[in-house]
Structure 1
Amino acid sequence: MADRPLQVTVEDVAREAGVSRSTATRALRGHGRIAEATRTRVESVAGRLGYVPNLAASDLAAGGTGVVGLMLRDAANPVYGALFSRIEVAARDAGLELVTVTIGADPGGEQQVQALGRLLGMRVAGLLVATGGVDSHRLEPFASEVPIVRVGRDEPSAAIHAESYDEAWHGGLLAARAHELGHARVVVLGAEAATSFGEHERAEALVASLGATRVDRVATGAAPDDGVRDALAAVDAGATAVLCASDTRQLAVLRALAERGVDCSTSGWDGILPGLDLLGLSTVRVPVESAADAAVERLAALLDGDVDLPIHRRWRGELLPGRTLRPVEHA
Structure 2
Amino acid sequence: MPRPPTMEDVARTAGVSRSTVSRVFHHGGERVSPDAVIAVHEAAERLGYVHNLVASGLAQRHGTQLGLLIRDATNPAYGHLHAEMNRAVEATGRTLISVTASRHDYGTAEVDGLKRLIGQRVAGLFVGTGVTAAEDLVETVSATPMMIVGRPNRHPQIESVSYDERAHGRLIAERIAEAGHRRIAVLSAPLLYSRVFDLRVRSLVERCAELGVQTVPVELLPVEKGVVRALDLAREEQLTCIVSPVDYVALDLLRAAAERGVRIPEELSTVGFDGLSDGIDLIGLATVKLPVAEVAREAVDRMGELLRRAQASPGPGPEGTPSALHSEQAPPARHTVHAGRFLPGRTLGPVPETMRP
2:229 corresponds to 1:230: yes
Structure-1 residue corresponding to 2:247 = 247
Letter in 2 for 1:235: A
Contact 2:71/2:101 (8 A) holds in 1: yes
Letter in 1 for 2:334: I
RMSD between superposed Cα atoms in Å: 2.3
2:351 corresponds to 1:328: yes
Q: Secondary structure at the match of 1:216?
A: strand
> Number of aligned pairs?
279
Give 1:309 shift.
Answer: 9.9
**Pairs within 5 Å for 1:170-319:** 170-211=168-209, 212-221=212-221, 224-236=223-235, 237-262=237-262, 263-305=267-309, 311-319=334-342
Of 127, 132, 136, which residue of structure 1 is paired with 2:134?
A: 136
Structure-2 residue corresponding to 1:63 = 60
For 1:311 and 1:219, how far apart are their aligned partners in 2?
Answer: 34
TM-score w.r.t. structure 1 length? 0.79
For 1:226 and 1:249, how far apart are their aligned partners in 2?
Answer: 11
Give 1:175 shift.
Answer: 0.6
Q: Secondary structure at the match of 1:242?
A: strand
Of 79, 101, 115, which residue of structure 2 is paired with 1:117?
A: 115
Contact 2:268/2:352 (8 A) holds in 1: no
Give 1:143 shift.
Answer: 4.5
The one-character-per-residue Cα deviations of 1:47-71 (angstroms, maximum 9, x if unpaired) are xxxxxxxx97343665242221110
Give 1:310 shift.
Answer: 6.5
Give the percent of matched residue pairs that are identical in Structure 1 and Structure 2: 37
For 2:292 and 2:238, how far apart are their aligned partners in 1?
Answer: 35
Give 1:186 shift.
Answer: 0.4
Stretches of structure 2 lacking an aligned partner (at least 5 in a row): 1-26, 29-50, 311-330
The one-character-per-residue Cα deviations of 1:191-243 (angstroms, maximum 9, x if unpaired) are 2222222222211121111113111112323x542411210122112100001
Letter in 2 for 1:181: A
For 1:275 and 1:281, how far apart are their aligned partners in 2?
Answer: 9
Stretches of structure 1 lacking an aligned partner (at least 5 in a row): 1-27, 30-54
Contact 1:182/1:327 (8 A) holds in 2: yes
Contact 1:61/1:122 (8 A) holds in 2: no
Letter in 1 for 2:230: A
The one-character-per-residue Cα deviations of 1:118-148 (angstroms, maximum 9, x if unpaired) are 2112221210000011101101124431111
For 1:252 and 1:62, how far apart are their aligned partners in 2?
Answer: 43
For 1:66 and 1:156, how far apart are their aligned partners in 2?
Answer: 28
Letter in 2 for 1:239: L
Distance 1:324 1:106, change over 3 A: closer
For 2:108 and 2:148, how far apart are their aligned partners in 1?
Answer: 17
Q: Secondary structure at the match of 1:253?
A: helix
TM-score w.r.t. structure 2 length? 0.73
2:103 corresponds to 1:105: yes
